[in-house]
Structure 1
Amino acid sequence: MDSSTHKVYHEHEFDSRQHLEQYFSDKPDMAFGDDILKFPIDNLRQAFTVGNVKGNILIDLSIGSIVHHLYSASEFFKNIIVLKVNNRCIMELKRWVDDRTGAFYWGHTSTLLQEKEENSDQCQDQEAKLRSAIQHVVKYDLEKENMTEPLVLPPADCVISVWLLDAISKDQDDYIRYLRKFSRLLKPGGHLMMIGSLGTTYCTVGKVKFHGFTYDEDFVRKVLVGEGFIIDYCKVQERTAVSDLADYKAFIFIEAHKEK
């Protein structure tokens, strides 16, 4: 299939539940455990437990209706604002936040976090703690100057973005433009944590192929520095999953802070 025919995450219908079932479930044959489940949990846990990232407000801009990357964040931030680009993602996430019947099961991911903690008792109610911390789920429009217009968000101490820039950016200019918008949500000195996929061109949801922006570690480092960030930590993990649902080569985690 010609990549020019791939759908685009924020422009076409994206089945958030199918996305969760294919990439984040607890099915025995799920190929992405080490990559998509463990990588965000491990790296964000490490970033938060070091103790440099804390404050009152955290804003999350991530793909689909995922929540597992926010477990550790809920230990340090009691006010998490989640931004979503479409109604299906919002409805799927709210179903889980409100603990309603039919919500996607995330218990296997909270268990992964417990395995990393010396005192597992602290994590037994991790999902409830995260539900409580997610104070608002807000729709946004990437093309507006204020993405959440008419709502004006308070400046955040931390912004997390997981796989979103990969999905919404059609080229380098898009990536820089959207990163700049995300940066405006931060206080001076605030922290940005990003997870992205390197060398990807597509991911499949159901029978639909969605566009992925292709870039490498050098590109994202240069963009962050160019936008006034100081990179505190970076880790790249080579792909382990065997599946043709997506063609990424590796995942990257970057923690940076905005110069004051």
Structure 2
Amino acid sequence: MALQERKEPDVYQENFEPTSYLEYYRMNQDPIGDEVLHFLLKHYNATFKSGAGLLQPWGSFLICRTGSLCSGSPYTRQRMAESDVSGPCDERDPAGLSLSSLPSRDKWAEKEERVRRAVTRVLKCDVLKEQPLEPAVLPPADGLISSLCLEAACPTLQACRDALRHLRTLLRPGGHLVLSGSFESTFFMVGDKRFPTLPLNEKFLREALQEAGFIIEKLEKVARATETHLDNRTDYTGLFFLVAQKGD
């Protein structure tokens, strides 16, 4: 199926509210939220599991979210502001998930504190710029994690290709990009607000990553669960998780 470019104007800066998003797709209470969380945590755990994962859980990693980047940078001003507060926007609450490899509920507070200590700063990140973190300058990182970011940040397929090249500049030679997101999604709803997304597919991702100078080491995908097909808050057809190494 041919991909369609996103036509709608950018509404994220004006209307996106992280707390509303997290309340609307609350984990353990929402089938879509649970589907995404289960899939991503399963593959993050397999990728970074100490001693057995594809990548080692030490070194310098950048975490790219919609609008910022944590150095251990959100892409909207609101996301940046919410990054330093606790409460509904803590983005934890995955307790009770039936993934045996994940920590038990009583260890989440300990895990959360370790993550807070590991995050050294939060920077504005614009993947559409040749230097996404300008004016900040960081040494090349061992890895970069980007989840559900490119679909929202990039208005066109060419912009997505460019964004991958820009992200590549943040990595050291041989560094890794850990990228996850949705297939074929054109929008998602938060309450009565509609946010456009750029539809991606596997063929495009493989070609764009290769053009940007990455070598895909792992690509996992899953079709959207049948029980969520009638949910009209979003129209994605599947999810993906991949690990790609920066080539020479």
Calculate the TM-score normalised by the size of structure 1: 0.80
For residues 141 and 111 of structure 2, the distance between their equivalents in structure 1, rounded to whole angstroms, comes to 23
Question: Which of residues 210, 213, 225 is equivalent to 1:228?
Answer: 213
Contact persistence 2:223–2:237 (CA under 8 A): yes
After superposition, the C-alpha distances for 1:123-173 in whole angstroms (9 at most, x for unaligned) are: 662111111111111112345432222210111101011011011122210
- Distance apart, 1:198 and its partner CA: 0.5
Contact 1:193–1:256, Cα closer than 8 Å, also in 2 = yes
Letter in 2 for 1:254: L
Alignment of 1:33-182 (within 5 A): 33-49=33-49, 50-54=52-56, 55-63=58-66, 81=71, 83-96=73-86, 102-112=87-97, 115-117=100-102, 125-182=110-167
Aligned to 1:95, the other structure's residue is in SS state coil
Please give the secondary structure, in 1, of the residue aligned with 2:235.
coil
Structure 2 gaps of 5+ residues are 1-5
Root mean square deviation, CA, Å: 2.7
Structure 1 letter corresponding to 2:234: A
Residue of structure 2 equivalent to 1:69? none
- Distance of aligned partners of 1:43 and 1:149 in 2 relative to their CA distance in 1, 3 Å threshold: same
**1:76-106: CA deviation from partner (whole Å, max 9, x where unpaired):** xxxx61722222111222113xxxxx34354
Q: Percent identity?
A: 28
| 5+ long unaligned stretches in structure 1 | 66-79, 97-101
Instruction: Report Cα offsets for 1:188-231 as digits up to 9, x if no partner.
Output: 10011111110111011231111111121111011111222111
User: Judging changes above 3 Å, is the alpha-carbon distance between structure 1 residues 187 and 105 closer, same or farther for their aligned structure 2 residues?
Assistant: closer
8 Å contact 1:16–1:64 — kept in the other structure? no
Amino acid paired to 1:108: D
Q: Aligned partners of 2:170, 2:34: CA distance in 1, in Å?
A: 31
